[in-house]
Structure 1
Amino acid sequence: MSSHTTYLARLREHLDALEVPWEQGAHEGETVATLPGERKLRTVVSLLLGERALELRAFVIRNPDENHEAFYRHLLRRTLRLPGLGYAVDASGDVYLTGRVPLAGLNEMSLDELLGGVLTACDEPFNDLLRLGFWTSIQREWAWRVDRGETTANLEVFRAELEEQTPSGAPDSVKP
């Protein structure tokens, strides 16, 4: 068995031990793990095994509609607190979290810490990023749902702010 195959098997064993769901990725040496979130429903992480390092990439949020400067400043400030991880933007402006760790030190504990960092970096700022980059869309969606008596369940986290901006608030007929 080659060392690449050994590292890949070990990575997947560690994911199993940590009870992190995973599947084989589309590329050779790629494993795709799914992390459950609180603010963001889930974070999908591509773990790509290289010759000497494990590279990771996780989608954070799409290109913001507005307030770009504050949005990216927020991400850059958070990057200062991310050991071995950083935010990146693709050609479409979508935000990803990236990282690279040496294979030599990869064990169950270091993988757990790494995935914990990924989850924190993707999940923790999610609502703040929505406020910064998509607030106008959130307001329009809220108004549309309230006007039609549709559910506002996935906007509940913003309810107080949205009702504060709407003089009458949400009618009682709105489904939570």
Structure 2
Amino acid sequence: MTAPIDTAERERLDGLISETLADLELAYERVGAGSFLVTLEGEHKLRTMTWLVVQDHTLLVEAFFMRAPAENAAGTYAFLLGRNAKTYGVHFSIDRVGDIFLTGQIPLLAVTAEEIDRILGCVGTYADDNFDPAIALGFAAAIEREKAWRAKLAADAGNAAKPG
């Protein structure tokens, strides 16, 4: 078993991550030494908040994907579990209440600017590409209620605009 990293190596990784995030022009907050909260912008999932945390042996990567499905939990989880076979560096996982995350760990020896770029690209792509289908599976009734409410608002606005 290898020993945990020393202070000098932790500081080097902290600097590497800071510099890489700045070079990639990503919005981020350095929460503490070796701990970064990165904002990844998307088209379907508008924002994916992603943690990069230097641990004793690995760089932890963790991003909130969506809350626990309100319905069809098994179908939603099965859909995302099927996606895990095609992912690099991170995978879909759930916490004790059923909320869904993208999580992974990179050995510290493999942490480079290129690998940080690659892993954040994967997180952003997987979150954005899978968000709409996962939401449709896990929140179908809520989506239908929203559509009906919007249709009623549009109809009411149309009737109000007509001279009476």
TM-score (normalizing by structure 1): 0.81
1:13 is matched by which residue type in structure 2?
Answer: E
Q: Distance in 1 between matches of 2:116 and 2:30?
A: 17
Higher relative contact order (CA 8 A, sep 6+): 2
1:37-48 superposed matches below 5 A: 37-48=42-53
Give the drift of 1:51. Answer: 2.1
The equivalent residue for 1:166 is none
Query: Matched residues in 1 for 2:117 and 2:16: separation?
Result: 13
Residue 110 of structure 1 deviates from its aligned partner by: 1.2
Q: What whole-Å deviation, never above 9, does each CA across 1:77-108 have from its counterpart, x for those lacking one?
A: 00001122111111221100100001212112
**In structure 2, do the counterparts of structure 1 residues 84 and 48 end up closer, same or farther at CA, with 3 Å as the change threshold?**
same
Determine helix, strand or coil for the equivalent of 2:61.
Answer: strand
Number of aligned residue pairs: 152
Larger Rg over CA atoms: 2
SS in 2 for 1:84: coil
Q: Aligned match of 1:82 in 80, 87, 94?
A: 87
Q: CA deviation at 1:172?
A: 8.7
SS in 2 for 1:125: helix
| Offset at residue 171 of structure 1 (A) | 8.5
8 Å CA contact 2:90–2:104 kept in 1: the answer is yes
Of 51, 56, 59, which aligns to 2:61?
56
Answer yes or no: is the 8 Å Cα contact 2:14–2:33 preserved in 1: no
2: CA distance, partners of 1:6 / 1:116 = 22
Aligned to 1:114: 119
Contact residue 13 and residue 34 of structure 2 kept, 8 A: no
After superposition, the CA RMSD in angstroms is 1.7
5 Å-filtered alignment, 1:4-83, equals 4-25=10-31, 28-83=33-88
Matches within 5 A, 1:72-151: 72-149=77-154
Amino acid at match of 1:116: G
Cα distance in 2 for partners of 1:15, 1:104 equals 19
Secondary structure of the residue that 2:86 maps to in structure 1? coil
One-letter code aligned to 2:61: L
